[in-house]
Amino acid sequence: MKLEQAHSVYFVGIGGIGMSALARFFVAKGLMVGGYDKTKSDITDALENLGVSIHFEDDVSQIDAAFLDVNTTQIIYTPAISKAHTELHYFMTNGFHVMKRSQVLGEITRQTFCLAVAGTHGKTTTTSILGHLLNTCNVEVTAFLGGISENYNSNLILNGTEVSVVEADEFDRSFLTLSPDFACITSMDADHLDIYGDASELVKSFEDFSKKIKPNGKLFVKNGLPIKGITYGIEDDSDYSVENINIVNGSYEFDVKTPTTLLKNFKFNLPGRHNLSNALIALAMSVEYGLPQPQLAKALASYKGVKRRFTYQIKTDNLVYIDDYAHHPEEINAVHQAVREMYPDAKVLVIFQPHLYTRTRDFIDEFAKSLSQFDDILLLDIYPARELPIEGVTSQWLLDKIEHKNKKLVQKTELVNEIKNSDAPVVLTIGAGDIGEEVKHIKKALSYAN
Per-residue pLDDT reduced to its tens digit, 186-207: 988 755 445 545 667 778 888 9
Per-residue pLDDT reduced to its tens digit, 337-391: 989 988 989 999 999 999 999 999 999 999 999 999 999 999 999 999 878 999 9
State the average pLDDT over residues 53-57: 96
Domains located in the chain, CATH noted: 3-101 (3.40.50.720), 112-301 (3.40.1190.10), 311-449 (3.90.190.20)
Q: Give kind and range of the element (H or E) at residue 296.
A: helix 293-301
Q: Taking the C-alpha atoms of 313, 439, 443 and 403 in order, what is their torsion angle to the nearest 10 degrees?
A: -90
The dihedral through the CA atoms of 58, 108, 158, 308 has a sign that is: positive
Q: Give kind and range of the element (H or E) at residue 209.
A: helix 199-210
Q: What is the pLDDT of residue 3?
A: 84
Per-residue pLDDT reduced to its tens digit, 402-438: 999 999 999 999 999 999 999 999 999 999 999 988 9
CA atoms within 13 A on the CB side of 40: 4
Per-residue pLDDT reduced to its tens digit, 302-329: 999 999 888 999 999 899 999 999 999 9
Q: What is the pLDDT of residue 202?
A: 75
* DSSP notation for 82-129: -TT-HHHHHHHTTT-EEEEHHHHHHHHHHTSEEEEEE-SSSHHHHHHH
Task: Give the number of other CB atoms < 10 A from CB of residue 82.
Answer: 11
- pTM for the whole thing? 0.84
Per-residue pLDDT reduced to its tens digit, 155-168: 999 999 999 999 98
133, 318, 338 from 442: Cα distances, Å: 33, 16, 21
Asked if 127 and 167 count as a contact pair (C-beta separation under 8 A), the reply is: yes
48, 54, 413 from 42: Cα distances, Å: 10, 13, 21
